[in-house]
Amino acid sequence: MTPLPTVELELFKALEKTKLIQSKDTCNYSRCGRTDKGVSAMGQVSAFTVRSNLVPEDRLENGCKEYPSNKKIELDYVQILNGVLPTTIRVLAWSPVPDSFNARFSCKGRYYRYFFTNMDGELDIDAMRTAAGYFLGEHDFRNFCKLDVQKQITNFCRRIDRADIVPYEGVPANPGSKMWMLELQGTAFLWHQVRCMMAILFLVGQRLETPEIVRDLLDMQKYPTKPEYEMAYDIPLVLYDCLFDDLEWIYPEESSRARNKLLQDSFAIWHEYKLQETMSGLMCATISRTREIASGKQTDRKSGICTGEGQLKATKAYRNVAKRPRQEAFDIVNERYRKSAKYGQQQRKMEAKARSRGNGDTMEGIE
């Protein structure tokens, strides 16, 4: 069976093709976080033990204050990897890190953005802001995630440092844009957590739920198990940045060939999608017979739920979250998985992987 094309798969193909690593199992690989299929990452960070031009005593991560002559003495990891990666995957910078560094556990915070439109004021932005405010602080988010039985998670407490709904003017800036975004920053996130949070915010924005539904879902006395609801669309979500202490990111020099190529590739992608946006916008304006993009109104008797896809999900009648069926408790689901044959296979695979893990040459983080 051919593996699904993923950013991680393409990255390892590039690392092996350029002989920077021998294999995935021997390079001490770690990543800051995983993203769902369809979700983008602008500031993802991964760490590997890779080939180096420098002897150990001359490496920054081993206490050397600066490279012996200049930064060019080390391999140009950005140019090497971008030379073989697909143009939709770009390495922006790299940083030397100590052997103890782990891209996931050394991360101090993750910063997400979720984009959505509000064409005719159909979403109550003020209500969404009020609801988002209830996320701030440390809470149990079991009602805002999907349970990952393979990880056997029992602690669902996470801290949110920022949660706000703000206008997005775009690039280049367009003050009249009707695009908005959820800006979300926290220490760590559960599987599908941001999409679940956004799904409830959409219900609040449609005035189908009050902002206090967020506060109630964070109360384990009121909601000990998760009500059933559909997650928000994956495409508008982006892992925008990962926050670390004391990393010296090394970017391509301003006038270097590597930086110019990076900009050219990024511009080509932006240009293609900008043309598609322009053409599809022209079609909407032509059909609506105005100069404005029109989304169309709900004309049948069914109500619709906003999930961020651009079209409402049809439903016969809206049922409040409080009245919906509940999922099984996480401890019951976890216990059932521990008794399965798949769990035993997973444990044996992890043990074999731990035994085969070796030491490489030098540890690098890439963004």
CA distances from 266 to 259, 272, 279, 296 (A): 11, 10, 20, 33
What pairs with residue 167 in β-bridges? 180
Phi-psi domain of 269 (left: phi exceeds 0; alpha: psi -120 through 50; beta: other): alpha
- Has residue 77 got a pLDDT over 70? yes
Distance from C-alpha of 332 to C-alpha of 355, rounded to nearest angstrom: 31
5-30 pLDDT per residue, tens: 788 999 999 999 999 999 888 899 99
* Least confident range of 38-52, 58-72, 80-94, 210-224: 58-72
Winning range, highest mean pLDDT, from 29-33, 64-68, 299-303: 29-33
Q: Is 62's pLDDT higher than 60?
A: no
Task: Give the N- to C-terminal CA distance of the chain in Å, as an integer.
Answer: 30
- Domains present along the chain, CATH in parentheses: 7-105+355-366 (3.30.70), 109-241+320-327 (3.30.70.660)
Look up residue 91 and give its amino acid: V
What is the structure's pLDDT at 171?
83
Q: Identify which has the larger pLDDT, 339 or 112.
A: 112
Nearest-angstrom CA–CA distance, 339 and 295: 50
Regarding predicted confidence, which is higher, 364 or 310?
Answer: 310
Confidence of residue 360 (pLDDT cuts 50, 70, 90): very low
The predicted pLDDT at position 359 comes to: 46
> What's the CA gap between 59 and 73, in Å, rounded?
11
Catalytic residue among 36, 120, 126, 219: 36
Residue 124 in this model has a pLDDT that exceeds 90: yes
pLDDT digits (tens, 9 = 90+) for 146-201: 887 777 888 999 999 999 999 999 888 888 889 999 999 999 999 999 999 999 99
Beta strands in the chain (DSSP E): 30-31, 40-41, 46-50, 94-96, 109-117, 137-140, 157-168, 179-186, 237-243, 303-305, 313-315, 362-366
**Selection from 269, 262, 270 nearest residue 83 by Cα:** 262
For the cut 50, the answer to whether the pLDDT of residue 330 exceeds it is: yes
Coil, strand or helix at 244? coil
Q: Which residues of 306-334 are buried (b: 16+ CB within 10 A; e: fewer)?
A: bbbeeebeeeeeeeebeeeeebeebeeeb
Residue 176, SS3 per DSSP: coil
Greatest mean pLDDT range, 231-235, 325-329, 350-354: 231-235
Q: Answer whether 204's CB lies under 8 Å from 125's CB.
A: no
Q: Give per-residue pLDDT as tens, 243-299.
A: 999 888 999 998 898 899 999 999 999 999 999 999 998 898 888 877 777 776 665
Is pLDDT larger for residue 53 or for residue 57? 53
Whether 36 is a known active-site residue: answer yes
